[in-house]
Amino acid sequence: MINGKKIVVVMPAYNAEQTLRKTYDEIPFDIVDEVIVTDDFSTDRTIEVAREIGVKHIMKHDQNKGYGGNQKTCYNKALELGADIVVMLHPDYQYTPKLIHSMCYLIANDVYPVVLGSRILGTGARKGGMPLIKYVANRFLTFTQNVLCSQKLSEYHTGYRAFSAEVLRKINYNVDSDDFVFDNEMLAQIIYEGIDIAEITCPTKYFDEASSINMKRSTIYGLGVLKVSIDFRLNKWGLCASKLYKKPF
């Protein structure tokens, strides 16, 4: 805990057998109270490894629900456990758990309610091996999103995020996509509510065992991101009414 606030780390896993242990071992348990691993119908030993390393809260989907669907399970469970701060950490060891301290202290001390680990601030992305085409696409999409959403974020596509429980309760993330565009829909909802977002520099690693999507899925994701941002602007102008911005019951 920090300032009496319960911290829960959620790890949406899919075929993370080779990297889960290494990621888990770097989690700072001096402040983290609970860890949740949700396995999205993996075909490897992700569940077995989670048990071996002592994860208390393990859930396994009986069918593949997608990246977004996996996160929904994670966040719902974290709130059920009474989390005050929820950190979403990929179990593929692409992002270092050593930043959890910095991210959580900003939230626990009421500086910011949302903190993103940005690969783009500084030179971490390319230095860590981000392919040039993905870097260029990231920069183009982020520029477009900043214009349409009236923001100045360095990137919208990081998978390293921390939220106060109040933020998760305020936005209706359960209606978001079950696919990769879920992350962007969540950020659009947060921005729509006028909630401030902080970013900290985050080194990243690209290697064979780290999760990645192919060019076809990347293209679908990019088009989905543009649609989210356009819909955001149309909703702000009162020209449409998306389900994303309706309050949760």
Structure tokens at 102: 């910095």
* Structural domain range at position 209: 7-245
- For residues 165 and 216, the model is more confident at 165
**Does residue 141 belong to any structural domain of this protein?**
yes
**Does residue 179 belong to any structural domain of this protein?**
yes
**Does residue 77 belong to any structural domain of this protein?**
yes
Q: Report the pLDDT value the prediction gives residue 3, as an integer from 0 to 100.
A: 94
Residue 5 has, within 13 A of its CA and on its CB side, a CA count of 19
Number of domains in the chain: 1
The answer, yes or no, to whether residue 181 has pLDDT greater than 90, is: yes
- Which residues 6+ apart lie within 8 Å of 75 measured at CB? 10, 86, 88, 168, 173
β-bridge pairing 114-118 and 161-164: antiparallel
Q: How far apart are CA 108 and CA 103, in angstroms?
A: 9
**Does residue 1 belong to any structural domain of this protein?**
no
Q: Report the pLDDT value the prediction gives residue 204, as an integer from 0 to 100.
A: 80
Residue type, 234: L
Q: For 107-147, write each residue's pLDDT tens digit.
A: 999 999 999 999 888 776 677 677 888 889 889 999 999 99
Q: Report the pLDDT value the prediction gives residue 134, as an integer from 0 to 100.
A: 84
- Predicted model pTM: 0.92
What is the percent of the chain where pLDDT is above 90? Answer: 80
Backbone φ, ψ for residue 96 (5° rounding): -80, 130
Give the neighbor-by-neighbor strand order of the sheet with 34-39: 57-60, 34-39, 7-13, 85-88, 161-164, 114-118, 197-201
Alpha helix positions (H), the chain:
20-25, 46-52, 66-80, 100-108, 124-127, 132-149, 165-170, 182-192, 215-236
CATH number of the CATH domain containing 64: 3.90.550.10
Q: For 68-91, write each residue's pLDDT tens digit.
A: 999 999 999 999 999 999 999 999
Q: Is 222 helix (H, G, I), strand (E, B) or coil?
A: helix
**Does residue 2 belong to any structural domain of this protein?**
no
